[in-house]
Structure 1
Amino acid sequence: MTLVQSSSSGRAAPSRPRRRASRSDPGPVQAAVAPLLAAHGYRDAHELRRAYAVAERMHRGQLRKSGAPYITHPLAVAMILAGLGLDTTTLVAALLHDTVEDTPYTLGEVRADFGEEVAVLVDGVTKLDGERWGDRREAETFRKIVLAAAADLRVLVIKLADRLHNLRTLGFQPPHKRERIARASLELLVPFAERLGIHVLRQEMDDLAFKVRDPEAHAGTGAALAAALRVADGTFGPAAARLRGTLAEHHLRGEVAVRPRHLYALHEELDGDVAGLRPHEAARLLVVVDGDESDCYIALGAVHAAMHPIPGRVKDFIALPKFNMYQSLHTRVIGPAGDPLNVIIRTRAMHPVAEHGIIAHLRETGDPAGTMAGRRDLAWLSRLLAWQSDAPSAQFLDSLRADLTSGHVAAFTPTGEIVTLPVGATALDFAYTLSPETGEHCIGVLINGRPARLATEVRSGNVIEVLTDPQAHPTDDWLGFATTPQARVHIQRRLSHDSAEEASRAGRDRLDRALAERGTDLLAAETHGESLAIARDLGFDEVDRLYAALDDGSVALDDLLPRFLPPG
């Protein structure tokens, strides 16, 4: 969001009056906003025109690195969101999302002009002031976004659309900034899109960041994919025809389509070796059936009857959905030409969720903000909220990157509750995922009914029962095998607390002995509030902190004793 015209504070400095855009010429506004109105089905046209007029006036005179007027960016972000079917409030917030950060327009004015709901969304995506937060700005801005998303998921969706458009125009940025933005996108924003199941955004962001980080590999993968798809009809044409026939034989109605892979996923899967890429590696067959879940299993049987299945390659994401509620059946078969083909089967109702994730749920439920209560696909966000407040800025981004790891395993509690964890997570991580209290007091686990160590790595399908003792607490060695941020942050906090308590006890014992030798009772001083008064006089908000300072030597015993002893 670098601006050509800016003040010394880094905020935009447009030379124009700041009041309303109500007198703006409607002609240019109408023409500029027309594609957005069309994408939104011409709903709430007046409100969108009004938001665009305000945003255009406030950003007037500001330019993008490309030389284009800055208003082209918020308009493009709103267009992305309109294409996904988001509501009017989200589009208005998208048009205004940079005004508070980069123009004199205030959050109070947003609230007065467009209401509280829009103001909350704009505030959620507004970066924190760099002068105030310094090196902590990026970490605390992401923490702010996470907290805002917990109240309204649209904050995160706007942020993703904002980053997508910035990636589309990244070529106008200097090389060092392109690399930084691309890396941050792959490490933080793409995983957020994955967690929310918005695959159409994730895939494009993946590929755009890939193009910046490794342009040669991106170009090579693109050329190999295009070459493979040019001759794909010979591989997929007969297979698709056979699938359509077998669906009809099993009295199923549906569609069969060829779905090309996206570049970054293909590059990662083949470890960059795309030379001689074959058609069956470049695409997959998608079967979308008209019916319910049971029809997917009938379709799976039909596929296996028509083409020989490869053993062990069936994945059932219907009975056990992914953490973002993605549902489909995946299988691999030998096609008519002898090639191994990947086939995906889902219902028509599953398809929007597979493509748009949480956005499909927001559209279907009529709850544009998206509530977290009882949603399994948002359990990851609940866990993130549980540990984020205890993570200092320096640790927060690293912990967030780890928590957003794309790979995952799904384990079960004895009552059948599904718990998703990153690959490599241990039984101790499982305990902390259930709750911080369960983790803190755990003493062992039963995995599939057998005793196991807390350091045991969790596998998909494990049934894990956590054994607890109210008197148990974390030990230093737990940090050697706890892998999730939630577990590590809580363990470190408890260990620090225990260490501080031990230091406080040691310091108090030392002071108590010294005073007793001089005929003074420390307990009496504490009872009458004298100890607290002395602590605060020395700059400590609690007596325990004073005692800990005495133990570590930052307060000298000889300097402290006179304050407790009677005069003379």
Structure 2
Amino acid sequence: MASAGGGPGGGQGGATRRFRAAAGRLARPRPDADKLRPAEGLLRNHRLQHPKADLSVVRRAYLVAERLHDGQLRKSGEPYVTHPLAVAEILADLGMDTPTIAAALLHDTVEDTDYTIAELRAEFGEEVAVLVDGVTKLDGSKWGVTAEAETFRKMILTSAADLRVLVIKLADRLHNLRTLGFQPRHKQERIARASLELLVPFAERLGMYSLKREMDDLCFASLFPEEHAACAAAVAAGEEEARRQLEPALQRFREALADSNVSGQVVLHRRHLYAIHTDTKGNLDGLLPAEMFRILVLVDGLDQECYVALGAVHAALHPIPGHLKDFIALPRFNMYRSLHTRVIDQGGSVLDVMIRSTRMHRMAEYGIAASIADAASASAAETVTGRIDLEWLRRLLAWQNDATSADFLESLRGDLRPGSIATFTPRGHVIPLPAHATPIDFAYALDPEIGNHAIGVLVNGRLAALNSRLYNGAVVEILTAPDANPSPEWLRDVKTPAARLLIHRALTEQRADDVSTVGRRMLAKAIEARGLELLDLEASGASRLVARHLGFLESDQMYAAVAANTVRIDDLVAKLTDPDL
């Protein structure tokens, strides 16, 4: 998006941008061949990955973007069109489809020029228009302080129908982070911090670790430049020696795979700087080889052969008990599948090993982008419906509608915080939850009605408290009663924004019901003094008719007004007992 990478025109206002765009369109056009020269690499890359792609769509999208952004500059001084072109190139490297590439080229036109979404739809079709609209920021002059929150809300809602919106947004932010150095210092920090809180977690949730790692390091460099430089220097100084020390272990694994008739590669997987800094807590003295690299075993065959490779690894070097993680049988919430183990080499050093098939590796690096690129359907749109690996997004969609703009971003940050556990229903359905979640969170993740009527829980077959902490792998069964209601104390215990919002709503409705009951009891007593029954007036429809006459949608609202003394009970009794009613 324009604002994150040095807005067009070096911060010029919208009117100036539109004037320049209009002036550019009136200028004498250059031949298309000259204009398309900067996009030649993009076109070649896209054709390489999609031999049957209609490149004319990409060409037209670039020419429209080049024409509309003519005269606009980035903070770097480069023509603004270099930004959408770079975003499109990132997406082409991921293997994304033609509509996504076209939308990337056009993604700032509606926001930063006088081009309308209607014009874009007429020229490029509904599919591209939906993608562009999904990543277009709302007008800050109209939305004020709520613009950022509502822009994210719109993007998430659009992503429910087509996850390519999020993929474009991540590529857009990645390029803006790459060019963040041209921004003033205060803006660098704001964008980097917002990226770490919101966009980087989205990349992780979508399994796009290749983007996540680079975004992590770019934010790290912006927020903590000295620490980043120190970490980079320490890694550079120790990398050659680390590779030399790890080579014997790699060779043992290669021989063990060959002995087990498993075809594959054994390579070093470099850890990114932000991960090294976090794990070492900035203590870089004597940085160990295993702190710089993990060992990656890539199996050429079927997924089942990863377990054979695991046996070979454990035969080659002694495994450390309790450190085997099977993300193949139990994938993470973001499509990530791999075997993780920890072994001790002959020198006594601890080594982390990852084992996965080549197909798993592609998914581990590119996540949802790989899934979209592999889609066999005519449209590469990916939706949330029916995808267990996107349960987190389904829950996000469920609670966002109940959140105000003020609460939405804070709740979103909480929902995206790192760390998660996998819990199970008795039938084996996986319910991903944040770390430290409680059975109350679990109940509301299943269904709001289950949460509202929860009275107890069985964890791994044993009774537990509803506010107890759940752990990875727990089998949870919620006990309910039809007349049960949420407790206000639950708000202290829950960790998920969805549960908190649903409890708030249930308590509000409960209080309204309680007040309505009090008012109805007061009215019934007053009517009984006239020798009548309120129940009869309700059955005849008189109560509802009077409520509507007084401006209430339902009788319960009128009863609540009686309890609040905003409707005089004598006047109401007179109306209800009026024989001409």
Match of 1:104 in 2: 114
Amino acid at match of 1:326: Y
Aligned length: 563
Q: Percent identity?
A: 54
Match of 2:304 in 1: 294
Q: Which moved more, 1:123-132 or 1:90-99?
A: 123-132
Match of 1:461 in 2: 473
Match of 1:395 in 2: 407
Distance in 2 between residues matched to 1:23 and 1:9, nearest whole Å:
23
Match of 2:542 in 1: 527
Distance in 2 between residues matched to 1:140 and 1:112, nearest whole Å:
26
Alpha-carbon deviation of 1:150?
0.6
Distance in 2 between residues matched to 1:17 and 1:91, nearest whole Å:
26
Find the residue that maps to 1:420 and give its secondary structure: strand
1:478 and 2:490 aligned: yes
Amino acid at match of 1:404: L
Distance in 1 between residues matched to 2:394 and 2:21, nearest whole Å:
44
1:218 and 2:228 aligned: yes
1:239 and 2:249 aligned: yes
8 Å CA contact 2:36–2:63 kept in 1: the answer is no
8 Å CA contact 1:188–1:404 kept in 2: the answer is yes
**When the two structures are superposed, what TM-score results if normalisation uses the length of structure 1?**
0.92
Does the C-alpha gap of structure 1 residues 412 and 561 become closer, same or farther in structure 2, counting only changes over 3 Å? closer
Amino acid at match of 1:432: Y
Match of 1:163 in 2: 173
Distance in 2 between residues matched to 1:69 and 1:38, nearest whole Å:
22
Does the C-alpha gap of structure 1 residues 18 and 11 become closer, same or farther in structure 2, counting only changes over 3 Å? closer
**When the two structures are superposed, what TM-score results if normalisation uses the length of structure 2?**
0.90
1:430 and 2:436 aligned: no
Q: How does 1:414-563 map to 2 (within 5 A)?
A: 414-510=426-522, 523=537, 527=542, 530-536=545-551, 544-545=556-557, 547-548=559-560, 551-552=563-564, 555=566, 557=568
Distance in 2 between residues matched to 1:528 and 1:20, nearest whole Å:
69
Does the C-alpha gap of structure 1 residues 109 and 22 become closer, same or farther in structure 2, counting only changes over 3 Å? farther
Deviations 1:512-552 (A, max 9, x none): 6677779999847972755334433xxx6555445545545
Q: Which moved more, 1:239-248 or 1:267-276?
A: 267-276
1:306 to 305, 310, 316: 316
Match of 1:130 in 2: 140
Does the C-alpha gap of structure 1 residues 211 and 66 become closer, same or farther in structure 2, counting only changes over 3 Å? same
Deviations 1:76-129 (A, max 9, x none): 111110010000100000111111111111111111000000011011111112
Distance in 2 between residues matched to 1:91 and 1:15, nearest whole Å:
22
Does the C-alpha gap of structure 1 residues 550 and 35 become closer, same or farther in structure 2, counting only changes over 3 Å? farther
Match of 1:115 in 2: 125
Distance in 2 between residues matched to 1:424 and 1:22, nearest whole Å:
63
Amino acid at match of 2:285: A
Query: Where in structure 1 are there 5+ consecutive unaligned residues?
Result: none
Find the residue that maps to 2:268 and give its secondary structure: strand
Q: Which moved more, 1:49-58 or 1:525-534?
A: 525-534
Q: Which moved more, 1:291-300 or 1:363-372?
A: 363-372
Match of 2:45 in 1: 39
Amino acid at match of 2:232: G
Match of 1:272 in 2: 282
Alpha-carbon deviation of 1:274?
2.0
Does the C-alpha gap of structure 1 residues 258 and 511 become closer, same or farther in structure 2, counting only changes over 3 Å? same
Q: Which moved more, 1:7-16 or 1:473-482?
A: 7-16
Find the residue that maps to 1:384 and give its secondary structure: helix
Amino acid at match of 2:315: A
1:25 and 2:2 aligned: no
Alpha-carbon deviation of 1:387?
1.2
8 Å CA contact 2:543–2:555 kept in 1: the answer is no
Distance in 1 between residues matched to 2:458 and 2:297, nearest whole Å:
40
Find the residue that maps to 1:293 and give its secondary structure: coil
Amino acid at match of 1:256: V
Find the residue that maps to 1:410 and give its secondary structure: strand
Distance in 1 between residues matched to 2:420 and 2:545, nearest whole Å:
55
Find the residue that maps to 1:456 and give its secondary structure: coil
Query: Where in structure 2 are there 5+ consecutive unaligned residues?
Result: none
Alpha-carbon deviation of 1:391?
1.4
8 Å CA contact 2:159–2:383 kept in 1: the answer is no
Q: How does 1:288-437 map to 2 (within 5 A)?
A: 288-367=298-377, 368-437=380-449
